[in-house]
């Protein structure tokens, strides 16, 4: 028997953000890109009190394994970041473009969303656009094309855009994991 979840948020601004949280690399890093977008509700309105966590591999395909990823030293890629949304639901991370962790598979950002009204956190992925690899991925190819598109970022000058729709038309595909409570 499992206990029901409790609504998460809107208290994130009190204890979860930390200095340098959205910066997986410093903004001046030569390979820095900006991953940004908006968290939107079912009416397309920005969610002002959401919090996102980002986990990713580096440009070499390796996922950092060292403890202390919330400690920023000003030069090391940490593989983890946390960003709150602003009043319009916008978030931004300074990071590097990830490489695939396995040959023949696409690179992706693992994203966790915490927001008001959710009974639990949501998990999704954001894939940089790379059509030839995306088409061959077993997970992505199992999704209808319209749903798959909700997981693909848009390339912009010096970065990638990834909007997250919590429900409604164009709702982002969210994932569940075997040990995640139902």
Within a domain: residue 2? Answer: no
Segment 141-178, tens digit of pLDDT:
899 988 999 999 999 988 999 999 999 999 999 998 77
Predicted TM-score of the model (pTM): 0.87
Q: Is residue 13 part of a domain?
A: no
Task: Name the burial class of residue 33, with classes exposed (0-12), middle (13-18) and buried (19+) by CB atoms within 10 angstroms of its CB.
Answer: buried
Q: H or E element: which one contains 94?
A: strand 90-95
Query: Residue 137: which of 146, 123, 148 has the closest Cα?
Result: 148
In a domain, 178, yes or no: no
Read off the CATH number of the domain in which 134 is found.
2.60.130.10
Asked whether residue 80 is domain-assigned, the answer is: yes
Domain presence at residue 37? yes
The answer to whether residue 176 sits within a structural domain is no
pLDDT bin (cut points 50, 70, 90) of residue 11 is: low
CA distance 49 to 110: 20
Residue 12 has pLDDT above 90, yes or no: no
Q: Name the residue range of residue 94's domain.
A: 19-165
End-to-end CA distance of the chain: 11
* More confident site: 6 or 124: 124
- Reported as a pLDDT band with limits 50, 70 and 90, residue 1 is very low
| Interval 65-95: pLDDT, tens | 766 566 667 778 889 999 999 999 999 999 9
Calpha distance 129→108 (Å, rounded): 10
| Total count of domains within the chain | 1
Residue 177 counted as domain residue: no
**Rounded to whole angstroms, how far apart are CA atoms 38 and 129?**
18
């Amino acid at each position: 028997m499992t206990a029901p979840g409790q609504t998460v948020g809107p208290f994130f601004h009190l204890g979860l953000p930390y200095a340098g949280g959205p910066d997986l690399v410093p903004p001046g890093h030569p390979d820095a890109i900006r991953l940004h977008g908006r968290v939107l509700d079912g009416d397309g309105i920005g969610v002002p009190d959401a919090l996102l966590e980002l986990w990713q591999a580096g440009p070499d395909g390796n996922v950092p394994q060292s403890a202390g990823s919330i400690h920023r030293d000003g030069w090391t890629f940490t593989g983890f970041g946390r960003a709150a949304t602003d009043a319009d639901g916008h978030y931004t991370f300074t990071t590097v473009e990830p490489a695939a962790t396995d040959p023949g598979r696409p690179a992706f950002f693992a994203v966790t969303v915490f927001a008001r009204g959710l009974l639990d956190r949501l998990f999704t992925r954001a894939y940089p656009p790379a059509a030839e690899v995306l088409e061959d991925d077993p997970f992505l190819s199992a999704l209808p094309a319209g749903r798959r598109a909700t997981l693909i970022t848009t390339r912009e000058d010096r970065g990638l855009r990834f909007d997250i729709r919590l429900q409604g038309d164009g709702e982002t595909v969210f994932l569940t994991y075997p040990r995640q409570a139902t």
